[in-house]
A and B are shown apart, each in its own frame.
Chain A
Amino acid sequence: MTFRPEHELHARRKGRNIGVGLMLGAFVVLVLALTFTKVTSGDFELPKAEEIAN
């Protein structure tokens, strides 16, 4: 079995793709940190059981 050679496009756009990947990764980390901050803050309340049922 042979692998297809990598298209030159991937090599040419490597920097751009790595950059986009890093930004998306940073965004995920930021949303995670934001969520953690919100749910651990004093004024956060879980919805009550009857509200969930409705």
Chain B
Amino acid sequence: MSFTSLGFFILAAACTCVYYLLKSSHRWICLLLFSALYYAAAGPVFLLFVLFAAFTTWVGGRYAVGQKKAAVAIPLLLDFGVLAYLKYSAFAVSLLNLLPGVSLGLPQTLLPLGISFYTFQSAGYLLDVYWKRCEPEENFFRYLLFVGFFPQLMQGPIGRCSTLMPQLQEGHAFDILQIRRGLWRICWGLFKKLLIADNAALYVNTIFDEYQSIQSLGLQGVLMYSVQLYMDFSGGIDIALGVAELVGIHLDENFRQPYFAQSLTEFWHRWHITLGTWMKDYLFYPVSLSGWMGSFRKMCRKRFGKETGRAMAVGVANLIVFLAVGIWHGPAWHFIAYGLYNGVIISVSGLLTGTFRKWKRALGIKDSMRWFQGFRMLRTFAIVNVSWFLDRSGSVPQALQMLTSSFRGSIFSLTVIRSDDLQYCLLHFLPVLIGCVIVLIVSIFKERKKNVLAWAAGLPGWVLPAVFAAVLIAAALLGNKESGGFIYANF
């Protein structure tokens, strides 16, 4: 059930109505039942996978208190084992088939909706209990709601037990301002997804899927992909946050104006924030603090000096984290290359931090200088766009070919999606252009710490339905009728 389908909005509206009709202490049961309904609609068998992940980590959590390693290790092995089998077994077999004399049949597996998201969220809970960052939940069904709360099931955000669990269990009082904020957020998400992302997808799909016959337009393709991906993913998250807001639940923000980042490290603090913090807390820190990493760090310090040795150890930990990020994105070499590209740049810039600092001092450049901030922003945007070639292309050679041909031949074509129909092309390109300008203006306000959502919620009551209707009518007239759902729902 897609976030843009009528069925989803009927479910969300019914859930909100029933939620406020029930006694405060029973409201969490309403959320659990509607979550089960949402997941069952995707396929009853998928519900079993959520139940399995929830049950194993719940039992593990009950025994993890007191630092019992097995209580953590067994559920993690089981859940990540299921994820690895369903998501990566075909890729692993295809690698084995490269060996001489090996010819195994590729396993046919199904990929349950949002399995990466709820596996990561439940694993985070278990580790938090183990590290005493949160208390184990005694009631399985309350815990099941934490794992499977329906707005976040499909594409996150990945919630944390310390902030999400208490909110889910509390019976929130009806608050009209909160409902308005939620509806505005949903409307904003629909605008980004239906009018911008889906129209940009027309160009992206044409340029990337037909790159061999087009032989140019790589730059246009990747810039439009940077628009599509951001609007698609953040639009979906806006809808998830908006629906949760209707029942008084504040999910974690997943984006903070990422294209304003001044370094790749900062970009990852602004893009898919909940995955970044998950990776930091449950992979980067444990790897960095492990015994073998400590020995490696000491060896590097002896050999290369204090500062370089330290940066090398952090760099290796970063490479491991971004390799995991790449693998998380999917079972394909171009995703692994995408992860490693990010890891290498962040690790190398960590190694060169001292040198950069000396250069800046010698040239009299300060981080607070506006022109320097602008330069860093553009540089980061360019670095990120190179990574999008790897992310979107079907293979590493395709990414490299498109990257190298970016400035060859023509760099922009309005009619690439339908060469004989300028009107059709304009009707799909202009919403992207105008939509980007609107999102940019809102982003600038947000960057200046203005609460745009609270401002919108305070507008006269007729404005929201008028804007909502305008977005839906515009989407019906100008949207891409062949939109293929949300990109991150496939993770």
Indicate whether A and B interact.
Answer: no
> Which residues of A are at the interface with B, using a C-beta cutoff of 8 A?
none
> Which residues of B are at the interface with A, using a C-beta cutoff of 8 A?
none
